[in-house]
Every structure is written in structure tokens, then in C-alpha cells.
A and B are shown apart, each in its own frame.
Chain A
């Protein structure tokens, strides 16, 4: 399994240590537990390759400081040690898992096969669905605001973002009509009550890829377009395959571009490009998600290489 630490072109940084968690419920070494709720406890599957990441899609933070990673080929949600970035437990999913997130004792997993968001408790025991089976056509990503008790789910089939209460009650859909072309990733900024949605756009209609920003109530606030800026020295800041999105406490937006194998960082005010962290030279191929870990470092799922990598020390991006 590929678990090499990856350094970006903006700022190089070392990796965390390899220490494993001291116990099942103890926070992993090297990370400060800020996730709410109990630590996930799934159990260890049988099979020599059952605990190997093959095609990680989304990453999320969970209680106890653990990370959760969905793997489409392994059809499982892995509990991953944030220090070693190694999976140590797995929850088998009946279908293709994409989106993942956790709020308190409720684990949400987007199941593309069953077209729903399945809900589990921290032990991996089923606890219902969001929207019912078939209710979310293509749940490619989700974001959780645990404090507000809300789950935001991208439905690539309906081309909207469905908002549920963590208990399962639907609130609203963001993006009715032609708001989205091909929405794929989502993040929330609880401080600003903003929902950020990555969208591949539609080249056939000359609609560029973008990150579209809404209020929690669904009002469109603005967008980061993927056209980039071209000048005599070349072009900068463009993206065409925007996948996972993350937001830090300062409101900076982190966007993974799957094709460029890079993380683009946009600062406020204005959400202008402040850094472009390329991972191509470090074999970061086809990244699909990015989150901020407990230390503010970036954890990236690289789906083609079958690994989770860390880009830390953002340097000038901060």
C-alpha cells in the first residue's frame, strides 16, 4: 500500500511519526482529538488484503481523532490512523461507498449502489438512511456541521445538494434547476454558514468547472471559477476536475484538482488563489479529496495510487 508522505511545491514538510494509537479509544499519537463523539469501532476483517486501501474516494474526520476513508474497490469504510495513515479497521458496505462523514455517534456513508446515504452508529451497526434507499441518486460527497446538526449531501444524479438534519429529517435541496452541471464535492464553513460545492461544469455548454458557494439556506453567494488567469507568463489557477473541498478556520478554501494532482488554496477576502500545491512529482495521482487534519495539515486521498497522503506545512499559503 502506498502511504508515502507527500510534500507540496509551495512548502515542503516532513511526515508525522508512525506511532499507532495506544488503545482503541485513545486518541492516536501525533494528533489532537478534536472530533466529537465516540471513536469508530468496526472490527478487523479477515483476508490478507482486506486492510489495504485500493481506491480511496473520500476522507473525513471522526471521533477519537481517527480518520475515515471510503474505498470504492474494497467496498468498505476504513478507520485510518492519522499518524501512520494506515487503516486498522474496516466496515464493509453493501455497494460502492463514496461520501463519508460523522457527527457524534452517527456515521454517514453515501452508497452509490443503493442510492442513499446509509447511517451507522460508531460500532458500524445500521441506523437507517438519509432520504431512504434510492433517495440520493449519486451521493458522491457529504459534509457535516455537527454543531448545527446538519448533513449536506451532493447528489450527482439530481444535481443538487440535499440538506438533512443529522437525525434524518430532510431540510431542503440547494441548487434546484440548472444551478449545478456536475456537482461532485462539498464542504461547509460553519463559521460563515456557507456550503461550498465543486462542480465539473459542462464543457459542451462552455460552462467551466467551479466551486459554487451558497448559504445554508440555499442562497447563491458566489463562485470560484476554473478558467484561471492567463498572461504572457502562462496560465495559473485553473482547474477542470475539482473534487474534494475543505475550509479552514480562517475561511481559506482548499480544492483538489484530480487531473492536475494539485491542491489549490484560495484566501479571503475575495477567494483569490494564494497557493497551488502540486503533488504530481510526488506521485499524487488522481486525488479525490482533501481535509484538514487536527494540526491544520492537509490529508489527501489519492484514488489511483490507492493511498492517503499528507501535505503539511502550508507555509506561504497561510
Chain B
């Protein structure tokens, strides 16, 4: 018998030992063309042989029963930095293992690169005797060769992640077993490579992309290409999260690398600031403003605003930035959060009515006195608001009603707001208010409603504080019935007004009629009157005083004794207007006082207990000078002003004329 004949007999005898699981006849691979049953020693020949059926164009995914079966296709070489030589198909697959019950032609005996000859048991695809079952005997087909892997090596000294699982579900043939199968294929469960960074491994992130707010607006999936918009993969599974600097696409050396846990370490979270800002700027990801497959345009930050923003605190000596737990950063995930705007903490939904962790509740994480120096939360909790009794801006969910609502972000832009380098001059807005939308006014004749122009958060024209207030406190908004349109009454075309939009109409009034540095040419902020009663806190968040006033004031003309601590006298001289014991010199700083007229302001306020409110309106008058108002009781029925004095017709006595102390 020829050598070929003996070989044929031998093969037939061997084939007879094969159990019913045999799937490959000898002549699938040997003796293909009538030649001798040659040994297959060439890696490329074997690879081609296997792929001639199992490759893209092969028929092997259709089994003999006419059922589609999942078989490896487009197999890539099992190679990489931990290999001295590439491994081909037959490093794992050869027919002799079938005689011992090994599945899919997995070899029984493998000559390993560094560990000698190892026995392989692969009689199940999962569980005991599968790929890597962590049973203390390292005979899995994935274990026997591995000596320097971080998982499942042949001495049991590496990690044992996903023991008993089907390794090739993630470590696919197509990827050369590099843990592919798509990013989502692995990261839909926690992944621990055993390096202890972070403790417990990488959390499962795929599920975060279906939360209330998330990157990548693709339903039900996160394409790998989107993951890799952010994640630089050249050192995947080597212990560090590496992120692209998207303004330097493809430059691995520019990658932003985490060396610790940004969820627990402010310094580490701070590392992520340039990563976030690189994309959330005007040019998006290196010029691509729609970097994800969802086509959504990147929300851009005002780069110059963020550079000096109070929340960008590295320049101020503390570690606060984009990423964090709510105390040292606001956004605690790059993937998705149950809070709007991906705020922290990400895992729990904000639940009405408290909505803790969102909007004002979120801001209170810091702005309750720690670590922020002022307790803004306490300001918003002052007093109890009613329809007419307002003590705080109603930012709380429970206080919200109607079509007009207010939140922290109505007045403060978290990515822009910063302390003032120098006190702003009214009406210029404080830097704490920059970066929010507002409405500017174009005023017409006295008493007319101005033309409002909405200016977006990115509008570059200089912002005035009152423009932010007028968003809500004018007819630009839908105001509650009976509420004053401040756009109308603050119009500088009016005969009189508090000097919010422009200096007042009474330039010759004596400076001594004012206190605390105010004068006839002053302009004022709304927040000079409407601010906290706590002098350590600026802004109209809340006050123990009605109307969120800095000091007490009663909006009633009923007789009462006014005190020097009332709000009017924070600017206007109490002794000139409300102290009848003052000298005529002090009284004479007001035109309507002795010595040219024996009664006047101090007589009415102090002697007769008529409060300012009886005769004066607050913000402005479209019809009368010096904020004179009629129709209140006690109050004025009418008033006429002349060049040298005037005539009053009050509810208290008959008409009376007066002469002023000094020229108007």
C-alpha cells in the first residue's frame, strides 16, 4: 500500500473514533484535490482554508439543516503587544480535540508559547469546562496560553472576570479577540480588569444613555463611533480612561488621561475641564459642531465667560470644574443623568415637589453656606409668599405657578457668572448676572409702553441689570392682574421716576437731602432697594421684608410713625424728611419744608404721622413730578406744581399752597 493509502486508512480509523458531535469530515480540509493528505503547517494556508468556508463569502453560516448559525467571520489574527508571534486558527482549533469531547475542534493539547504543552478541556461553551471557568484548574482554551494578561492566565494569578461566560461574545474572532463586539457589548455590564482602578472596575455605562439627559441622542443604542468621539482607545484596558482632546483630533499624545476617580477626587475631576470645554465651545469638536451620529449640535459655552467664571475655580485656588459630585463640579457623568443638563447626582431622578438635586435644589448643594460662603438657600426660605406678600423669588417647585416662573438660571449663568472685579456703576449689570437672557427697552413718550427687545444669553451688547428684571416685571411677560408694568413707570420720559434707567429729573435737589453717598445725579440698581436684609448677601433672592426690600417698608398711607430704619431712608435723609426736631437748616435741604413754608415734609411725616406712601408712589409717575400720587387716603386729591412752589388739595384739609426753599 502506498503512503497515501496508509494515510487514508489511518484517517478513516481515527475518524471512526469521533463522536456524534463531529462536524468536519477529514476531506473538508485534507486531500482536497486528490493529493496526499498533506499536513497543514503554514499559517496562511490554514487561515485561508478555514475562511474559505467561514469567511465573508463562505457558506458556513448555513448549516446542513438549513438554519442560519452564528459562526466566526472575517477572523482577525490573534496578535497584539503581549504576543511574541501571531496565533492562527489552528493554535486553538484542530480536529484531534474532538475525540476527547472538545467542541468546535478545539485542540486537546496545546503547545503554548511560554508554558509548555497544556491540556485543554472545552466541553461546554459556558459554565464548567468552558472558555475560562475559574474552577482552579487552568485548562480553559482562553487560559492555557496566557501568562501576562490581566484576566484568566494559566496560573490563576490574574483576575477572573466573567468566569464561565462565553468569552467570544465580547472577545470576538472578528476583532482578534481584543474584547470587541462593540463598546456596548462589554460596557453594558461592569468591567473589572483587576487593576483596582477604580475599585470594582468600570461601571456599566450603556444604561446611562437612556437616562433623562444624556450624550448621544440615538434611541436604543450607542454606536461605537460615538463612544470614540470622546474616548481615545490606543491603550484600552490598560487601566486609564483616555479621552480625546477633540480640538486635536487623532493626536494620541494630546489625549486627556484620568489617573484617578473623578467622582471622588476634585483634583481628578478638574482634569476633565479642558476635555469638556474643547467640545462645548464655538467650533465643537475641532470644527465639527455635530460630532455624534445623532446630528445634534453641541451646546456651546461662552469660552471667554467660562475662563473667568466663578464655577471654574482653579484660578481662585480651589478645585471646581465641570465634572463632580455636586460639590466640586456639577456634571457627574459624561454619559447620562436622571437630572436635566446631566447634573449630579446622576442616578436618582429629581422628584416633585422638592426636585432635590435639580435647579435650585442642585445649586443649594454648594450655595447653602458650604462650600459657598453665602447661604442663598436660607434667603429663598425667608417669609411666606402670598399673592400680594412677596418675600423671596419663588424658585422652589412648590412656589411655581402660572405662566411666569423663575429659577436660579433665570438670573445666573452657571458657566459665566463671576464676582465683580470692581463694583459696577448702575445700570450696568453685575458680572454675577452675565450670560443670561434679558429684554432691553426703547422708550417712547411718558406713560407709554416701551418696545421690548429680547436679548439672548449670548447677546454681546452690554447688559443692564434692570433688563434682567424686566424679563418678568414688565408687560414683556404675562404679569398677574394688578401688577405694575415697571417698563412703563421707569421710563425716563416720565415727569418723575426712580433713576433706574437714567438719572432723575430733579438735578438741583440738594445733595444733603440724601445719605449714604447718594445724590441728585445718582442712578440706582433695582437691587439697591430689592435685596436681602442680610447685608452680607447681595441680590433679591429673599428678605424678611415684604417685596424683598433691603429694609422694612409698609405700602400703606395709614398714619404711622416712620423710623430711620425704613427703606426710604437708606437713600433719603431721615432728618430732612421725617424728623420734625431737626434744625431748619437740615429741614431746608428739602424744598417742601421750613423755613419758607412752616410745615412741609417733617411736619407731615413726624408731627402728623403721614407716611411717604400717602403722597408718593415708588417707582415712577407718568403724570406728576416728584413721584406725587393722588387718590390715596389719607393722601392727595390733586396737586399742582409751579416754578416757585405748588398747591395741594389733600384728603386731610383744605387746599393749600407753598413756596419752595430753593430753586428747582
Contact = CB atoms under 8 A, between A and B. Distances in A.
Contacts of A140: 57, 59
B33 A235 contact: yes
Contact of B28 (A55, A72, A137, A203): A203
Given A182-B62, A258-B57, A240 B48 contact: no
Contacts of B482: none
A243 interface: yes
B508 interface: no
B604 interface: no
A159 interface: yes
A234 B35 CA distance: 8
Given A73-B56, A258-B52, 12 more contacts: A54-B74, A57-B56, A72-B73, A73-B174, A156-B62, A157-B68, A203-B28, A235-B34, A241-B58, A286-B57, A303-B56, A304-B51
A78 interface: no
A98 B57 contact: yes
If over half of B's interface residues share one DSSP class (helix, strand or loop), that class is named, otherwise mixed; here it is loop
Contacts of B51: 258, 286, 303-304
B493 interface: no
A137 B62 contact: yes
Interface in A201-256: 202-204, 227-228, 230, 234-235, 238-241, 243
Interface in B211-230: 225
A266 interface: no
A203 B27 contact: yes
25 contacts: A57-B56, A72-B56, A72-B57, A96-B56, A112-B61, A138-B62, A156-B59, A158-B66, A182-B62, A184-B59, A200-B59, A203-B27, A204-B64, A227-B34, A228-B34, A230-B34, A235-B33, A238-B32, A238-B34, A240-B33, A258-B58, A260-B33, A286-B48, A286-B55, A303-B56
Contacts of A183: 59
Given A204-B25, A241-B53, A304-B48, A259 B66 contact: no
B228 to A, nearest CB: 11
B49 interface: yes
The size class of the interface chain A forms with chain B is 35 or more
A184 B25 contact: no
A285 interface: yes
Nearest to B51: A286
A47 B73 CA distance: 24
B189 interface: no
B59 A240 contact: no
Contact of A203 (B25, B47, B62, B68): B25
A58 interface: yes
Interface of B: 25, 27-28, 32-35, 44, 47-49, 51-53, 55-59, 61-62, 64, 66-68, 73-74, 174, 225
Contacts of A230: 34
Interface string A138-167: 101000000000000000111100000000
A84 interface: no
Contacts of B67: 157
A190 to B, nearest CB: 24
A278 interface: no
A158 B28 CA distance: 22
A312 interface: no
A137 B25 CA distance: 25
Contacts of B62: 137-138, 156-157, 182
A289 B68 contact: no
Interface in A152-198: 156-159, 182-184
Contacts of A288: 55-57
Interface in A43-96: 47, 54-55, 57-58, 72-73, 96
A285 B48 contact: yes
Best-surrounded residue of B28, B56, B61 (most CB of chain A within 10 A): B56
A258 B56 contact: no
Contacts of A111: none
A235 B38 CA distance: 14
Contact of B32 (A54, A234, A240): A240
A303 B50 CA distance: 13
A279 B27 CA distance: 23
A121 interface: no
B74 A55 contact: yes
Contact of B35 (A112, A235, A241, A285): A235
A261 interface: yes
Contacts of A184: 57-59
Given A259-B48, A259-B52, A238 B57 contact: no
Nearest to B28: A203
A289 B57 contact: yes
Contacts of B47: 304
Contacts of A243: 57
A156 B225 CA distance: 32
Contacts of B56: 55, 57, 72-73, 96, 98, 288, 303
Q: Which 6 A-B pairs have the closest CB atoms?
A: A288-B57, A238-B33, A72-B56, A241-B52, A235-B34, A258-B52
A37 to B, nearest CB: 26
B59 A182 contact: yes
Contacts of A203: 25, 27-28
A304 B55 contact: yes
